[in-house]
Structure 1
């Protein structure tokens, strides 16, 4: 388990970060490793010696304790999950070092990445009893992997090809006086851009109100039951036979990471600039929102992507958990309190937003172990080790590419495949929220002040649904209306391409309505397996196309590749003006 898990984590971390900087980012999911390790695990079980080393001592070890089993398979997948999800804090390193052209050392970068990743363990431990042990929190996303674990993968592999072979600003002292900004004019956003920010505001408030109205009593009862005898489901009852992870372990990790973060921000303030109170405020935001957002994710399978600020992430990184509008609210708060500091804005967003996101990821993995009956302490250790490995590999790969690829992230270089689209959008967000600041966009210096009304709209929407469910008790379908999901889906559609929407609508309608309604047994057996197969097939084909065609600079030339189908849209129409390519 440790060998294959480490290899899976290292390989996926390297490949995902390598492809992340490219113009068309590619994400290789954990399901790819989940399928690939089956023949390798069986081969190692058959060929590696079962000799016991250091027999009779404290360090006794057996390299081959028995046949390759499903629990080892699950733990290897847990390792792969860390390599499959991008390390968000890499954006901070890339933007500061490449786009802002400021100094940030490898050591400071490693501290930021490690603390943001591991900080989530603390929140996960605090809310584990609500989001893992509760039978109502069923985490539908885990059912894809559980379905694959339950299938006859060796039989499947017979038919698989796998067995074959800028000069910018980071401190107010260097900011041009804002009269220049006023002379240039306010920052204008497109209607969709502004609306998507508004939808993010609405989704955040809708999440809090929805959870309070529809799950408040359940949370309170779970809280009371945690201190006494309570009725538990069969999964929790079976898991209680294992030695549990003490809650103080999570608390210690949380406190140590907060202390390390404050130390890094104060001692290396010239590089990070985030004050100590900013760290505490970010942690407070993460703690407040982990439970409501975790409930939405665990019950609806909606792992909301952050709106517009990272629309490329929305398109490419399906398995990284994102949350409704929390990245926006962290940018909003620190941008209003501490305007003119784009680096501070980025760091605050990372600690306030990503630590909570990783808490949701760890909780989802705990629930997977809950379903598959993995010993909690083994799961805990696997999560710690895989996180440390992924952080080092992701940062090492990013640092290597930044130092060796000429003009990386330069969008003006023609025919460059290293344009870093996700990092460029992250940089744009730091300018909007950190440098220009929300006060000049959404508050008293108003350009888009009316967008703030979305906060109120988001809070009211779940109340209307709740009142309707109380007024019409017989209409059970009303309770199924989930306003955070509906609002969040609205926010995802504008930035996504047509293909991004139509493909999931067609597949989702066919599977979730046609097959579910007319062939329910077929749906129960193959729905989640098909979901995993589609993800794995896309990942394998993406790597195959890159290795076979991308390395040889071979591209398919067709009319669909041209985003501008009408030359008149960009070429001058006046006969006296000549432009190359028109």
Structure 2
């Protein structure tokens, strides 16, 4: 499908978490000695074996542009996360945008040394030409801002969904501790996952390639544009156009023609609705709809798009219709697609009936007297797919990469000298002292205990739960880090962690989500830090400079995400409650809505009463078995027919998770994402490969930056002041399919829906 593995890698670096290639790397130590280079071919082809240690790194430009990039991206991402189309801004926009700014600063800022009074320290606003290492550090700053702060979801559901008070100090400590804890695990394992040449972190090679390309001298071709000129053109066009879907004609964020033709048919609207239905024929004229939830389709490898498309079609257009119209799990009593929880009568579940208001714990008697918790059929299968995807990832990696991982892991533990890159780093720069990591780990663990055990234990998680979460993260960081460092595939611990604490400590919703956050995010953050360390390793950045930039960026990010969320939660009336919001309001919090439902499913009611022997959906556990065995046929045929290289591009974990972002993402998001992705990464890639290589990622960055800037400008100049767009039919942030949310079971009464007899 794709012509080269290197092209797949190029796509992965910009937001995709899909696999790079199925190439297995055998360790050949004699070749390493002979070439005095890396044992990994891709690294030898991409990363230069030279270094200039005289280049300044932690300059005024680095701190100034880095902190601004980090704070701006963090603010925009949290700002957008509460909106109907939760666009995610990546570090690529900053990576491209800061380059001309850095060069302007190098051209015009004074070079005179500035002395800090009372000290021997001094610095220059302009130490010389804007260099590659400064650019790399600024991008790592920006990447910290682009990494979401998971703990903010907890703050949101407490204030906007459970409507309970939360001490802001406890919330801030929770936010900082969950983000910083990963440094401790990263420090412990960096020797094996960073210094070892066999842990090569494939996606970083694309960043290395892009940095080198951006710093090459580019001459404008006659009749053409430089990459920077093209970026500015796309940015201005995207910025100008987004006033239409964001303010003047919001309904083009989702267009569903089937609903307009069959206005009175529940079934037709369930089939055609892009937001609450199966979305046949739905589309949008809005980049935010395309890129929200799923990331930019321009930055996803073509073979990954095909895998996701196949999985999406199987689930959404085969499995779900069969399950729904055969009334599996009483599916007809509820909407076909909804992120909410329901009672047996099809009404929204009354959470207050099963929670003790005083203790904020599960009320068993109230539950027995009321109803079990039911989910829409899409939500049910989303959990089944998450179970299968987790198991399939482990099985797929073991089958396709097991031998290579074992060889590379043994080599990484046995290697003493490292490759040429490790030797250059050891020769030219002092390493980060190990006590820096350990000291930070001790401080953050103390913050974690104080946040959870103090403040009248508002967060519900006891000390032993914190320790168990730490143990879970510590145990999985090395194996998942090895998999990520060698295959670019990974898996999260969120489902497993909420299941573990759900069985052990049932009935406490906040304890469940806090445990999940400490267990899942500290490991995820450790993987992110280690990946960035390896990027600095390839770019020959002084390790201490890397550490300081990452630490500062993470701290700034936590503050900005938390501050933005707290500000929006306390200033926008009825935020996250579509039933109370004014018409056309975008503040529907789709991601937090699902996070809230998960806190009920796993925390309040618990897995025993949902997916266990007391629950309605115990059959979903078979998805673990299905995921475990599903990669076997592909692995067998790939070995049986090695000449058919397309077989190895069938990636079962990606295929299974093709529809895995439902019901947070809607079908219209998928429709637009697949359409744009297939057009650019198949048609344009094959027919106009030169244009694609030169402009594809810059087009993606320009589109997302233009949308972000216009949405922010609109909000602060107009919407924040209560100045709404024109009042007309096209202003609804909706696809005008009101019957898609209706049940079709006889006798179920839902407001705004016809009753089936």
What TM-score, normalized by structure 2, do the two folds share?
0.65
- Distance in 2 (alpha carbons) for counterparts of 1:451 and 1:40: 53
Deviation string 1:471-495 (CA, Å, 9 cap, x unpaired) is 5555555444433222222423665
Contact 2:160 / 2:576 at 8 angstroms: preserved in 1?
yes
1:502 counterpart residue number: 671
Q: Describe how 1:141-160 pairs up with structure 2 within 5 A.
A: 143=206, 146-147=209-210, 150-151=213-214, 155-158=226-229, 160=232
Runs (4 or more) in structure 1 with deviation over 6 Å come to: 161-167, 566-572, 579-582
Query: Which of 49, 68, 72 is 1:7 aligned to?
Result: 68
Deviation, structure 1 residue 263: 3.8
Contact 1:559 / 1:565 at 8 angstroms: preserved in 2?
no
1:31 counterpart residue number: 92
Structure 1 residue 100 corresponds to structure 2 residue 180? no
Contact 2:405 / 2:482 at 8 angstroms: preserved in 1?
no
Query: Which of 440, 451, 454 is 1:264 aligned to?
Result: 451
Query: Which of 472, 495, 501 is 1:334 aligned to?
Result: 501
- Distance in 2 (alpha carbons) for counterparts of 1:88 and 1:263: 19
Query: Which of 725, 734, 750 is 1:554 aligned to?
Result: 725
Tell me whether 279-288 or 492-501 shows the greater mean CA deviation.
Answer: 492-501
Structure 1 residue 281 corresponds to structure 2 residue 468? yes
Contact 1:439 / 1:445 at 8 angstroms: preserved in 2?
yes
Instruction: Give 3-state SS (helix, strand or coil) of 2:578's partner.
Output: coil
Instruction: Give 3-state SS (helix, strand or coil) of 1:151's partner.
Output: helix
1:425 counterpart residue number: 594
Contact 1:207 / 1:292 at 8 angstroms: preserved in 2?
no
Deviation, structure 1 residue 357: 1.9
1:200 counterpart residue number: 386
Instruction: Give 3-state SS (helix, strand or coil) of 1:445's partner.
Output: coil
Does the C-alpha gap of structure 1 residues 428 and 561 become closer, same or farther in structure 2, counting only changes over 3 Å? closer
Deviation, structure 1 residue 468: 4.3
Tell me whether 381-390 or 18-27 shows the greater mean CA deviation.
Answer: 18-27
- Distance in 2 (alpha carbons) for counterparts of 1:37 and 1:568: 45
Tell me whether 342-351 or 67-76 shows the greater mean CA deviation.
Answer: 67-76
- Distance in 2 (alpha carbons) for counterparts of 1:401 and 1:123: 33
Does the C-alpha gap of structure 1 residues 479 and 259 become closer, same or farther in structure 2, counting only changes over 3 Å? farther
Structure 1 residue 381 corresponds to structure 2 residue 548? yes
Contact 2:578 / 2:588 at 8 angstroms: preserved in 1?
yes
1:41 counterpart residue number: 102
Contact 1:19 / 1:25 at 8 angstroms: preserved in 2?
yes
Deviation, structure 1 residue 298: 5.2
- Distance in 2 (alpha carbons) for counterparts of 1:185 and 1:223: 51
Tell me whether 452-461 or 545-554 shows the greater mean CA deviation.
Answer: 545-554
Query: Which of 537, 552, 577 is 1:370 aligned to?
Result: 537
Structure 1 residue 486 corresponds to structure 2 residue 547? no
Deviation, structure 1 residue 378: 0.9
Q: Describe how 1:560-571 pairs up with structure 2 within 5 A.
A: 562-565=734-737
Contact 1:29 / 1:536 at 8 angstroms: preserved in 2?
no
Deviation, structure 1 residue 344: 0.3
- Distance in 2 (alpha carbons) for counterparts of 1:517 and 1:70: 32
Q: Describe how 1:195-344 pairs up with structure 2 within 5 A.
A: 195-229=381-415, 235-240=421-426, 241-268=428-455, 270-294=457-481, 297=484, 324=491, 326-344=493-511
Contact 2:74 / 2:561 at 8 angstroms: preserved in 1?
yes
Contact 1:272 / 1:344 at 8 angstroms: preserved in 2?
yes
Deviation, structure 1 residue 250: 3.1
Contact 1:121 / 1:253 at 8 angstroms: preserved in 2?
yes
Query: Which of 424, 436, 449 is 2:605 aligned to?
Result: 436
Once superposed, what is the RMSD of the aligned Cα atoms?
Answer: 3.9
Structure 1 residue 184 corresponds to structure 2 residue 247? no
Where does structure 2 lack aligned partners over 5 or more consecutive residues? 1-61, 219-225, 241-349, 745-750
Query: Which of 73, 83, 86 is 2:145 aligned to?
Result: 83
What TM-score, normalized by structure 1, do the two folds share?
0.82
Contact 2:388 / 2:627 at 8 angstroms: preserved in 1?
yes
Does the C-alpha gap of structure 1 residues 385 and 550 become closer, same or farther in structure 2, counting only changes over 3 Å? same
Where does structure 1 lack aligned partners over 5 or more consecutive residues? 303-322, 573-578
- Distance in 1 (alpha carbons) for counterparts of 2:477 and 2:684: 35
1:317 counterpart residue number: none
Tell me whether 551-560 or 198-207 shows the greater mean CA deviation.
Answer: 551-560
Tell me whether 410-419 or 386-395 shows the greater mean CA deviation.
Answer: 410-419
Deviation string 1:545-569 (CA, Å, 9 cap, x unpaired) is 6567756422685499642347798
- Distance in 2 (alpha carbons) for counterparts of 1:226 and 1:197: 36
Does the C-alpha gap of structure 1 residues 174 and 490 become closer, same or farther in structure 2, counting only changes over 3 Å? closer
Does the C-alpha gap of structure 1 residues 198 and 134 become closer, same or farther in structure 2, counting only changes over 3 Å? farther
Tell me whether 412-421 or 224-233 shows the greater mean CA deviation.
Answer: 224-233
Does the C-alpha gap of structure 1 residues 547 and 158 become closer, same or farther in structure 2, counting only changes over 3 Å? farther
Query: Which of 178, 181, 206 is 1:116 aligned to?
Result: 178
Tell me whether 442-451 or 252-261 shows the greater mean CA deviation.
Answer: 252-261
- Distance in 1 (alpha carbons) for counterparts of 2:511 and 2:741: 40
Instruction: Give 3-state SS (helix, strand or coil) of 1:7's partner.
Output: helix
Deviation string 1:312-358 (CA, Å, 9 cap, x unpaired) is xxxxxxxxxxx645212211111111110001011011101111222
1:19 counterpart residue number: 80
